[in-house]
Structure 1
Amino acid sequence: MSRGSRVVLAISVVLSAVTVTAVHVQQQRERERLHRGVLRDLERLSQKEENIRLLEEQIALTKQLKEERDKMLMEKASQQS
């Protein structure tokens, strides 16, 4: 094998190895990015459920407060009569 052939072969092997490594690294980064996306989605879902729970709690407290206010107004009105 001539010297030129060896150089071309060596360069081809190195470029192939670099290409395979670069693709592997890129795939790994993409996999990690997708995983972070799933974690963000789960966190958003958890936050949404918490917000819904808090909203329902606020609605119940508001209803209770209105009932108590109405009851007090009724008592005041009956006392004035």
Structure 2
Amino acid sequence: MSMASKVALGISVLLSAGTVAAVHIQQRRRLHEGVIRDLERQSRKLENIRLLQEQITLTKQLEAERDQMLMEKGSQQS
């Protein structure tokens, strides 16, 4: 095997190995970013559920106060 062919083979092996390593690193980074996005999404979902429960509670309180005021007005008019 000539020296030129050995150099060409060595360069092609190095480029191939570099390409495989770069793709592997990108995949790991994207996988890690996906996990972070999922955790953020779960956090937002829990916050939205908490806010919804708070709104439901406040709505029930408001409706109870409104009903009480209507009953008081009705008893005052009678």
Give the TM-score band, short-chain normalised.
Answer: over 0.9
User: Is structure 2 residue 69 aligned with structure 1 residue 72?
Assistant: yes
Q: CA RMSD in A?
A: 0.8
- Structure 2 residue aligned with 1:62: 59
- Normalised to the residue count of structure 1, the TM-score between the two structures is 0.93
Matches within 5 A, 1:17-28: 17-28=14-25
Deviations along 1:23-68, one digit per CA (max 9) or x if unpaired, are 1011101100010000000000000000000000000000000000
Q: How many residues align?
A: 78
Unmatched 5+ residue regions in structure 2? none
User: Is structure 2 residue 50 aligned with structure 1 residue 53?
Assistant: yes
Unmatched 5+ residue regions in structure 1? none
Cα shift at 1:6: 1.1
- Normalised to the residue count of structure 2, the TM-score between the two structures is 0.97
Aligned equivalents of 1:26, 1:60: Cα separation in 2: 51
Aligned equivalents of 2:37, 2:26: Cα separation in 1: 16
Aligned equivalents of 2:59, 2:29: Cα separation in 1: 44
Query: 4+ residue stretches of structure 1 with deviation over 2 A?
Result: none
User: Is structure 2 residue 63 aligned with structure 1 residue 38?
Assistant: no
What fraction of aligned residue pairs are identical, expressed as a percent? Answer: 54
